[in-house]
Structure formats: structure tokens, C-alpha cells
Homo-oligomer: A and B are copies of this chain.
């Protein structure tokens, strides 16, 4: 992103919108980023702030309630080996949390999802997770917060 490019999380939703309130929204990531990680959600703060400690304590609590709700939906519906949480923002410095269902059979496990793939993805396993996405999305969209 060049310095003059508009922030993509100000200009767009950043994924498939599941829940929105004044302060934040929850999206599911689709497309290439989610190809090997179907259970990939984001909690995105609506205002353009960069760091977690740019939020007030009350704002953090709100955001954390959403993060918890998404993690609980992911654990309950997608039953991952591990949930990964991360707020990086090096490329897009607009506060957003990644919530990603990881499996011991996924293409990067146990490495972080951003490294190159080191094993093939078992198509059947991936399909099983994709089948459960609608339930997870519905739990989030019904407001688990």
C-alpha cells in the first residue's frame, strides 16, 4: 500500500460482513487468503486507529467481547486444533484482529499461517470445515457478543 493509497479497511469491509455495530464489524475472510484456512475471521475496528493501545479501556472491552464471541463460535462450530489470534497491521495499519481456526492437518501447521505451505491440504478435511462454516457464520451473525 503506498502512502497515498486509501486505507482498504476504511474503503471496504475487509471480508464478508457478518456483524456490524457502531464501533466494529466482524467479517469472514474469503478468496486467496482463506483458501487453506476456511475458518478465518476478522474483528475490525471501524475508526482508523493503528495500535491496540490507541483504544480506550472501554473500547478495548467492546472489541474484546467481539473477539471472544468469534473465538467461541469458532471453537464450538469448527472445532480447530488451535485458535490463532493476531493484530499485526504492518501492511494495513488499521486496527484489526485475525481469528483463525488452525488444524493439525492444515498446510502450515504448526507454523504461523503466513509462512509458505509445507504440506498438501487434505481436500476432504478442508471440505468438512467448509460445510460447518454456515453454522459458525450464523452464530456470529446472530450476535454472540
Mark A residues whose CB is within 8 Å of B.
50-53, 60, 64, 67-68, 71-72, 75, 81-91, 93, 102, 109-112, 114-116
Residue picked from A67, A85, A90, most chain B C-beta under 10 Å? A90
Q: List 27 A-B contacts (CB under 8 A).
A: A50-B82, A51-B71, A51-B75, A51-B82, A51-B83, A52-B68, A52-B83, A52-B85, A53-B71, A53-B72, A53-B75, A64-B64, A81-B90, A82-B89, A84-B87, A84-B88, A84-B89, A85-B88, A86-B86, A86-B87, A86-B88, A90-B102, A90-B111, A91-B110, A111-B114, A112-B112, A115-B115
Partner of A84, one of B68, B90, B109: B90
